[in-house]
Amino acid sequence: MHKLLHAAVCASLFLSTLQAEGRSYGRSNVISHQGIVATSQVLASQAGAQILAKGGSAVDAAIAANAVLGVTEPLMTGLGGDLFVIYQDAKTGQLVGLNSSGAAPKALSPGFLADKAIKRMPPNGIHSVTVPGAVRGWYAMHQRYGKLPWKDLFQAAIAFAEQGFPVQEGMNEIWASPGIVGGLKGNVESARVFLPGGKPPETGQIFRNPDMAHAFRLVAEKGPDAFYKGEIAEAILETSKHLGGTMTADDLAAFSPEWVQPISIDYRGWRVSELPPNGQGVAALEMLKIMSTRPPSSGGASSTAEWHERIEAMKLAYSDVHRYVADPRTYDAPIAGLLSDGYAQQRAALIDPERANCKVTAGEPVGSNTTYLTVVDKDGNIASWIQSVFGIFGSRVTVEGMGFQLQNRGAGFNLEPGHPNVLAGGKRPFHTIIPAFMEKGGQHIGFGIMGGAVQPLAHAQFVSNFVDFGMNLQEAMEAPRFAKNNADGCEVSIEFRVPASTLQQLSERGHIIRIQREYVEGMGRGQAIMHDSKTGTNYAASDPRADGAAIPEPITP
């Protein structure tokens, strides 16, 4: 008996030691006194880190990394998409926002589509294309915050496009799906460029895109005018004309990005910031405001009460954002009302702690596939940076001779007369991509989690994991998530790593759960960087749901 007791005590001590040494997440934080680049693709992170080592700023590194992502993740991002940025200047602490999203062609209207018997916004094809804003957005950021010559920022992207790169696992999984292959085959140029030999490249296969190398070389040598007025513009217009599109030279030439002031809330002592409409960042802030009306669950991040509240808060916030968010140049969304304390209390009161709400409606406030990356340089400047072509391979329309696809952001419009987000020529659509920022004291965090409609709820989950439950950046990024594309219904997808008891109890409360694998790309692919201004130390996290990494700036001997 004494021996059994001794063995039990030893086993208990052994398990206690294991628990003290172990952790519940897979990767470590990346920690450095130098700059760090965190992206969803290792080659892009490496390219950005090399720019930092050459004396480049956070913005220089972000542009270089973004360009490489356009080559290595053509499904998600590239020259034909839009860009949003939140940037913090370390010296002043000021947050600056850039909205570089383009508008619908002026000749594209509900009447034009009706004449072609189109009754809903096309999800892809030439009539889903809006003016790409990324290139002029990159240039605007470089003009204000860049250090290295513009042309130097595109050399890695040109090399990877010309010489090729091995396709990564995550990209192959999506690229090779039958629906994507079928969509690419629907456009001759897309099939030629992105289905070499008539099929998607396999994991590890070298993929080359010399046409994209040519386009990047034009941008590097001639600046954004090559894209909006020059040879690339001509190719875009020819492609549109061949497919019956409405884009004109004036639509392209007239585009300019807009500097905006981020919107923010206080979340338990942290200042959390997003960009204002036409993006959906306000949904993340409203979700957090609703959650802040009650203390975090005493049962921890994996408890049923916590998951239930997050899901229900998300549905309330999404019902509002889809009702009120549109291009602010055409509609004055009631942002102050949506983010007020009183409205948060009003919406939170609708949450039944014991039952899921399957039919959520918008409230009445008072008042007026994607790639995310983040960079911190050695001076502590942070770029929270997101760029996208929206759907997988965007519109599925590839610009003839240029090797890049045009975005399908027009699919973000609707054709409902009188709705704030109804299609109109020259108007920007509702946008899903949102960079984010949070800070408290000396801690400054740029973060983002791409993934279409799931981005706001993923942002809120990350913030809550970090603030409410003391997780570090990497742990908060890796933690299990739920995903839901809209406010309607009680269906919700949840990763398998959530305790079985929590899943069972959520089901008993009326949630219709779709259990997903441990790390699912559809839950969003995130990156985060924190600069501690008191110590000068930088921390970074990269989501295992993607192919990326957080890579520190190398020190040159």
Q: What is the pTM of this model?
A: 0.94
> What's the CATH code of the domain at 502?
3.60.20.40
**Which range of residues forms the domain containing residue 517?**
260-370+432-552
Residue 262 CA to residue 276 CA, distance in Å, equals: 6
Residue 282 within any structural domain of the chain: yes
197 with 184: CB under 8 angstroms? no
Q: What is the pLDDT of residue 460?
A: 97
Q: Chain-wide mean pLDDT for the chain?
A: 93
Question: What confidence score (pLDDT) does residue 486 get?
Answer: 87
Is 330 found in the same domain as 274? yes
Q: Count the domains in the chain.
A: 2
Predicted confidence at residue 367, as pLDDT, reads: 52
Residue type, 229: K
Q: Are residues 161 and 309 in the same domain?
A: no
Q: How many CB atoms lie within 10 A of CB 519?
A: 19
Q: How far apart are CA 549 and CA 333, in angstroms?
A: 37
Residue 19 lies in a domain: no
- Looking at the fold, whether 322 and 396 belong to one and the same domain comes out as no
pLDDT, tens digit (0-9, with 9 covering 90-100), for 305-357 = 999 999 999 999 999 998 998 899 998 889 999 999 999 999 999 999 999 99
With respect to residue 229, please indicate whether it lies within any of the assigned structural domains: yes
Same domain, 190 and 319: no
**125, part of any domain:** yes
Looking at the structure, tell me whether residues 134 and 217 fall in a common domain.
yes
444 assigned to some structural domain: yes
Same domain, 185 and 59: yes
Asked if 480 and 467 sit in the same domain, the reply is yes
pLDDT score at 27 = 86
What's the whole-number mean pLDDT along residues 147-172? 96
Residue 125, sorted as left (phi over 0), alpha (psi -120 to 50) or beta, turns out to be left
CA nearest neighbour of 64 among 144, 194, 160:
160
Burial state string for 151-182 with b = 16 or more CB within 10 A and e = fewer than 16: ebbbbbbbbbbbebbebbebbbebbeeeebbe
Is residue 73 included in any domain, yes or no? yes
Q: How far apart are CA 456 and CA 436, in angstroms?
A: 10
Quick check: 12 pLDDT over 80? Answer: no
> How high is the pLDDT of residue 26?
83
**Is residue 11 scored above 90 in pLDDT?**
no
Strands 482-483 and 491-495: antiparallel
Is 12 among the domain residues? no
Catalytic residue set: 370
Question: 217 with 336, same domain?
Answer: no
Q: Looking at the structure, tell me whether residues 314 and 188 fall in a common domain.
A: no
What confidence tens digit (pLDDT) does each residue in 254-311 have? 999 999 999 999 999 999 999 999 999 999 999 999 999 999 999 999 999 999 999 9
The candidate with the shortest Cα–Cα distance to 399, out of 289, 525, 164, 234, is: 234
Q: Is residue 404 part of a domain?
A: yes
Confidence label for 9 from pLDDT (cuts 50, 70 and 90): very low
Q: At 7, is the pLDDT very low, low, confident or very high (cuts 50, 70, 90)?
A: very low
The mean per-residue pLDDT over the stretch 219-237 comes to 98
| 176 and 291 co-located in one domain | no
Q: Does pLDDT of 84 surpass 70? A: yes
For residues 229 and 279, membership in a common domain is answered with no
Average pLDDT, integer, range 19-46: 88
Q: In this structure, are 548 and 465 located in the same domain?
A: yes
pLDDT for residue 15: 43
What is the predicted pLDDT for the residue at 5? 44
Q: Using a pLDDT cut of 90, give the percent of the chain over it.
A: 88
